[in-house]
Amino acid sequence: MVARASRMTPPMEYVRLYDEAAGLDGVIAIHSTARGPAAGGCRFWTYPDESAAMSDAVRLAEGMSYKNAMAELPFGGGKAVLRRPASAFDRAALFEAFGEAVERLEGRYVTAEDVGTSVADMEAVARHTSHVAGRTALPGRAGGDPSPWTALGVFEAIRAAVAFQSGSALSSMTVSVLGIGNVGAHLCDMLAEAGAELVVADIDPARCARMAERHGARVVAVHEIAATPADIFAPCALGGVLDAATIGALSARLVCGAANNQLASEDMAGLLLERGVTYVPDYVANAGGIINVAAEYLHESADDVHQRVVKIGPRVAAVLDEAAREKLAPSVVADRTAERLMQEPVSEPA
């Protein structure tokens, strides 16, 4: 098996978050500030215990360092992970308390939306800190929900990968999409507009029903979607989906989606390569959201965001080309490139 190279692992800094009155319980993980402040969204999710939340924060923060470097943004990597209270809580109070915690870091960490959080939540955070993005967009400025930008980046990545792999058009392809929340639904809209056939799965049946009605998507169970015949598999839910069982059942020859940390373990990159499956590294494809967050924080425009997000396609093509020439897993090439960028002087994003 062709193993994936081990990543750089600078010391991780953890900031424990706890405010019983506000219902706040979580952690901010800071992986790297080599390129600038650690930037990464705030995930709000049901975790069984503190250890599970911490493990998720560690993986996500590391991924943000690589994602921000690969997108050539002047930011390092960090992530906030908050545990959703089991009983009734005041959502605004919880996120205001989180904002106070972010402010105490004095700009070393910049937060924004992630799974389970919204523009309204970021507005609550912003009552106590300026180190937040993903807020309501001002006229002519970047901002707002980053999900459409994430979806656009993944769509451009899929187009580039299809062109590299076969030269075919998306209109001749079937794409299976796992997870049709905010990002997955936007991606389905773009794929359908390009003429692709859709197969969808989600833990929420209502989401699947809407996609079936809107685009004629075929609905399958979550546990069936990897084996369902398709040309492209787009994981857009939570991470870790690409394990040995999923890869063994996989019908598609191309994997490109919006989920973070899609590989269940490092050696899954080699298993995909052995099976002849082209895998677009998740953090290369799904950088559209953080590009929007960065532009908002830097007081730039939506046009600036669009110009950078459409560069994801050529970036994917370059990674796949280098991987093919060197007979390496694309994730190895992407990691190597990102690590080089982490060591270089940072210029303003172009």
So which residues are the catalytic ones? 79
Count of other CB atoms within 10 angstroms of residue 313:
20
Which DSSP category does 239 fall into? S
Phi, psi for 332 (deg, rounded to 5): -65, -45
Count of other CB atoms within 10 angstroms of residue 153:
31
With both helix axes pointing from N to C terminus, report the angle between 147-165 and 288-297 in degrees, rounded to the nearest 10.
Answer: 140
C-alpha 109/C-alpha 39 separation (Å) is 6
For strand 24-32 and strand 76-83, is the pairing parallel, antiparallel, or unpaired?
antiparallel
Contact between 30 and 100 under an 8 Å Cβ cutoff? The reply is no
C-alpha 134/C-alpha 87 separation (Å) is 27
Q: By C-alpha distance, which of 46, 34, 76, 77 is closest to 59?
A: 77
C-alpha 113/C-alpha 135 separation (Å) is 9
Phi, psi for 234 (deg, rounded to 5): -120, 95
Contact between 215 and 235 under an 8 Å Cβ cutoff? The reply is no
C-alpha 147/C-alpha 297 separation (Å) is 16
Count Cβ atoms within 10 A of the Cβ of residue 329 and give its class: 0-12 exposed, 13-18 middle, 19 or more buried: buried
Q: Provide DSSP, 32-69.
A: E-SSSSEE--EEEE--SSHHHHHHHHHHHHHHHHHHHH
